[in-house]
Amino acid sequence: MVDCDVHQDWATDAEFTKYLPKHYWDRGVTTPGQPGWNNPVAESGISRNDSLPEDGGPAGSDRDLLGEHLFEDFGVNYAVLTGPGANNAFGWHPNLHYGTAGVEAYNDWLIEEWLDRDERFLGSLSVVPADPEHAVEEIERVGDHDQMVQVILPGSYENPYGHKRYWPIYEAAENAGLPIATHVSSSSRGTSWAPATGAGIPLSYIEKHAVVPMPLVGNLASVVLEGVFVEFPDLQWLFVEGRFTWLPDMMWQLDKNWKGLGNQVPWLERQPSEYIRENCWFSTQPVPEPENPEHLTQMLDMVHAEETLVYASDYPHWDNDNPKAMLNGVDEDVRRKIFGENAREIYGL
Amino acid sequence: MVDCDVHQDWATDAEFTKYLPKHYWDRGVTTPGQPGWNNPVAESGISRNDSLPEDGGPAGSDRDLLGEHLFEDFGVNYAVLTGPGANNAFGWHPNLHYGTAGVEAYNDWLIEEWLDRDERFLGSLSVVPADPEHAVEEIERVGDHDQMVQVILPGSYENPYGHKRYWPIYEAAENAGLPIATHVSSSSRGTSWAPATGAGIPLSYIEKHAVVPMPLVGNLASVVLEGVFVEFPDLQWLFVEGRFTWLPDMMWQLDKNWKGLGNQVPWLERQPSEYIRENCWFSTQPVPEPENPEHLTQMLDMVHAEETLVYASDYPHWDNDNPKAMLNGVDEDVRRKIFGENAREIYGL
């Protein structure tokens, strides 16, 4: 007999890694089942080495260690938890039955294991964009927890977020007094589009990391132009981990397009940038570090930083931003708004 | 007998249009065969009304009318022809046999009907990115025409342009002394990714128009990081009709990523922004018009305009930029470079 299909495997990553060129040895293995464009980065994946708990759990899974880094080292008072990759993974899981069960479990776990144990932890309520009916029920079920401060959506999902299919979620969020947050991410499973950019699948992690905000850019244009903030004027929307230095490009072009093509969106009552300044927020991470420090000041002015930016560390990722080492030299009033006042207003703290 | 599938049609667009709400009446009809997200815009499509020839041909098809607008009204001395939509349509046609025959025909038509009739017309040599072998032959066949000044690629194509599959095209272009140009576009036929952005298919023309540069952003990251300009140091690359105000975001982030993740791209000899400043160019159209004119000056400084920008009108599109009505107040040395000196250097005029 000949068996024409048998799946062998290596016992440990190390057994295989030594067959790769040496400069890959300290980066872990991209096993065939993983999306190849996201690895290899480093042995600790995309996390700070010192964020890995000693007992071997993943980065961010030890409350005490996380608290030590954020509350003590960084001096943070409240930490908005956006979850592991698995958070968004439930949100965009193509199996709606498992996806909705997954977000319910995630929200329960979040409340029991994190929010109820420390009032400095604030939660992001996970939903499945493809099932707005379930999302509304989930917002009603757990959205009134004092520390549940926002509804989180995957970075992109099938249709852009201006699409009416999602509006019941926005209505429920507005009614519950919860902002919407979209965090950069991509499913690679057909429930979101080509990772990050219309140019195709990036060839390396460094390439993907550079273009990762693009779905947020597209979704910003979509929610503003489709009139989400006309229908839900009190809804606040956060764009997380997607930079903000592309914002002048979009604000200027959206306003220019509105002058020439405004008849396509007759429901808009003001120019697009006004909705952005009133309803949209952008997290600072990764913070820009231009060679010429004046360019940073100019950029903050272009994006109206005092009314559009909120601080985020992106802990425990390798490129997390320490609040003590960023935006130095920026006007103190603007710094206070970015590092706390804006978020306190958005989240009603 | 019952025939269960018979395709009826309307005799004229007007016959159908009157069934639509009134505000669509002057915009032409998006017939079912057209991609819905690109229309309806206006009766003249996306072109200036006065660019439509009196004899009924499409905008840009009458050399005399085009010349009157560009050479007389705008005061342009040389016009780099980037072709109708059909230009890129051959480049990304999924049928490689028809696609390669199409670009050969296009290049022959371009030479006979335009370049050989007026030396102020400069040509963009069309190729099929999926068939580099044919592309190289085509560059060798017609690339030495005095007025053929660049090789043009679709705005995006299957893999990002850093991918090695395309490198034979770059080698041939460098050998022929021709820059590469990529012009914003999307095939909607599977040979390029979701129009414009990883957020999904834009819901309207105004939305699509706002995010249309995104594939260029992704391709810029790709060609720089994959080392195209290390292998082909003399190759110049133009990004056309994709704005430039997103460039600070990319230059700063690419340099930052290179510091942290440079071991992924060990072939780079300098930080990414240096390759951009040395090998990449961006057309001005659509020119930014920020409310605060100082922001424009600051933006030009951030992107090192004198070594990265070239003027383009985007004629005959509705939002074409008249050189007499843009970048006023900008330093005269910078203006001279943008409006002519840079292009003369790139194209060897």
Give dist(CA B32, CA A233) in Å, integer: 35
Predicted local distance difference test score (pLDDT) of residue B22 = 77
**Nearest residue on chain B to A243, alpha-carbon basis:** B249
Predicted local distance difference test score (pLDDT) of residue A37 = 42
Predicted local distance difference test score (pLDDT) of residue B61 = 92
Minimum-distance CB partner of B210 among A157, A205, A253:
A253
- Give all strands of the β-sheet with B280-283 in edge-to-edge order: B79-81, B121-126, B148-153, B180-183, B237-240, B280-283, B309-310
Predicted local distance difference test score (pLDDT) of residue B161 = 96
Structure tokens at A66: 């996380």
Residue B19, CA distances (Å) to A264, B12, B16, B25, B176 in order = 18, 13, 6, 9, 55
Fill in the DSSP letter of residue B200.
-
How far B296 CA sits from the closest chain A CA (Å)? 10
Helical (H) or strand (E) element with A237? strand A237-240
B326 Cβ neighbours under 8 A, 6+ residues apart: B284, B287
Fill in the DSSP letter of residue A317.
B
Give dist(CA B139, CA B169) in Å, integer: 8
| Chain-chain contact of B193 with A200 (C-beta, under 8 angstroms) | yes
Closest CA to B12 of B38, B39, B27, B31: B31
Minimum-distance CB partner of B193 among A198, A213, A222:
A198
B328-332, long-range: CB within 8 Å, 24+ apart, which pairs?
B329/B293, B329/B297, B330/B296, B330/B297, B330/B300
Helical (H) or strand (E) element with B280? strand B280-283
| Chain-chain contact of A261 with B41 (C-beta, under 8 angstroms) | yes
How far B67 CA sits from the closest chain A CA (Å)? 25
Is the Cβ–Cβ distance between A349 and A177 less than 8 Å? no
Question: What residues in B contact A270, CB-CB < 8 Å?
Answer: none
Average pLDDT for B130-152 = 98
B90 Cβ neighbours under 8 A, 6+ residues apart: B98, B99, B102, B103, B105, B106, B126, B128
Torsion of CA A187, A191, A194, A195, to 10 degrees: -20
- pLDDT tens track for A13-56: 778 778 877 777 766 555 444 444 445 555 556 788 899 899 88
Average pLDDT for B310-330 = 93
Q: What is the pTM of this model?
A: 0.92
Give dist(CA A115, CA A130) in Å, integer: 27
Task: Give the 3-state secondary structure of residue A279.
Answer: helix
Helical (H) or strand (E) element with B149? strand B148-153
Helical (H) or strand (E) element with A171? helix A167-175
How far A122 CA sits from the closest chain B CA (Å)? 27
Question: What residues in B contact A159, CB-CB < 8 Å?
Answer: 200-201, 203
Domains and CATH numbers, chain B: 2-347 (3.20.20.140)
> HSE (CB half, 13 Å, CA atoms) of B109?
13
Minimum-distance CB partner of A203 among B205, B222, B245:
B222
How far A146 CA sits from the closest chain B CA (Å)? 32
Average pLDDT for B213-228 = 95
CA angle in degrees (0–180, nearest 5) for B311-B313-B318: 150
- pLDDT tens track for B161-174: 999 999 999 999 99
The predicted complex's ipTM stands at 0.90
Mutate to test the interface with B, among A23, A211, A282, A289 (most CBs of B within 10 A): A211
Minimum-distance CB partner of B210 among A199, A204, A221:
A221
Indicate if the pLDDT at residue B31 is higher than 70.
no
How far A287 CA sits from the closest chain B CA (Å)? 9
Buried b (16+ CB within 10 A) or exposed e, B158-176: bbbbbbeebbebbbbbbeb
**φ, ψ for residue A80 (rounded to 5)?**
-80, 115
- More confidently predicted of B10 and A32: B10
Structure tokens at B324: 């007499």
A10-24, A93-107, B22-36, B309-323: range with highest mean pLDDT? B309-323
Segments of chain A scoring below 70 in pLDDT: 26-45, 85-88, 186-189, 194-196
Minimum-distance CB partner of B198 among A156, A289, A290:
A156
